[in-house]
Structure 1
């Protein structure tokens, strides 16, 4: 797998990625950091700013494009400077895999990579969440050492989420 920050020349592959989610009836694009709600160039600048200097109380973070060969298979969000409160409400790591590439092990590999980044940044544990009805994501988190710590629906607009702690 290849992981990298998005650039201005990635707009077409990201639009294709988003369209595939829409084609499968999905309106929420996991780990996209508001990709669909702003101009693409502004989004790229925001991602670069978050990686370099951080943004508000969220601190520095990464949104990485995840490729297998030439194909964009997913997005990975690593929020390694969150306050404890934000970590417990939105999680330190988010990931999403395009619908046609699911059930191939990509999420497990991506989460493992995010955990390595968090270790490099000095974190000793992380919190990772998923929607309660996303059984595959919960299993992915558990495969990577996740221990269930709770459930809430505060951040996800009424859609219950499960949260897991992973010690690094």
Structure 2
């Protein structure tokens, strides 16, 4: 059964193990708000500060981060941003997430996206922006299966970003 926990409620070793799997596979951890750049201990402090307007780092928006766990193993991470800045409006959206390579194609991303959408709706949002790279077929399917409605594509020199909205029911 999948459960969701904030980083402060997960062991630092679990976080390091999760982080290392991405590093070993030369992958980026989407939705991790600087996890790749910080130690697990410093990162947990960073995401705790990100939850509040008074302590959020410059350039960041307030957000909650959750780990998805199955049998006490971290299978994914998801960042629920309470608001959007200019960059997030075009590229990142309200939600960023990753599932570790060894746990993909098991339905975790859909459960994570549904959980986080409900969390953001509980904060008063009526609609949620979520984006993905046009070439990320798995993420595109996940977003659409969770009710995402494509608004447009943002085309740049090196990538095309799909922008979807999920509306509160």
Fold match, TM over 0.5?
A: yes
User: Equivalent residue for 2:17?
Assistant: 16
Residues 9 and 69 of structure 1: CA distance in aligned 2, closer, same or farther (over 3 Å): closer
User: Equivalent residue for 1:7?
Assistant: 8
User: Equivalent residue for 2:47?
Assistant: 47
Q: Which has the higher helix share?
A: 1
Could you tell me which runs of 5 or more consecutive residues in structure 2 were left unpaired when the two chains were aligned: none
Q: TM-score, normalised by structure 2?
A: 0.87
* Cα deviation digits, residues 41-92 of structure 1 (max 9, x gap): 2211110111234625644211111101211000010002224763333200
Matched ranges for 1:3-152 at <5 A: 3-7=4-8, 10-26=11-27, 28-53=28-53, 55=56, 56=58, 58-83=60-85, 86-152=88-154
**Deviation larger for 12-21 or 66-75:** 12-21
**Matched residues, number:** 165
Q: Quick check: 1:146–1:164 contact (8 Å CA) kept in 2?
A: yes
Q: Quick check: 1:58–1:79 contact (8 Å CA) kept in 2?
A: no
**Deviation larger for 38-47 or 141-150:** 38-47
Q: Quick check: 1:88–1:127 contact (8 Å CA) kept in 2?
A: no
Q: TM-score, normalised by structure 1?
A: 0.87
**Deviation larger for 110-119 or 47-56:** 47-56
Give the superposition deviation at 1:4.
Answer: 1.6
SS of 2:31 mapped into structure 1: coil
SS of 1:158 mapped into structure 2: coil
Residues 64 and 153 of structure 1: CA distance in aligned 2, closer, same or farther (over 3 Å): farther
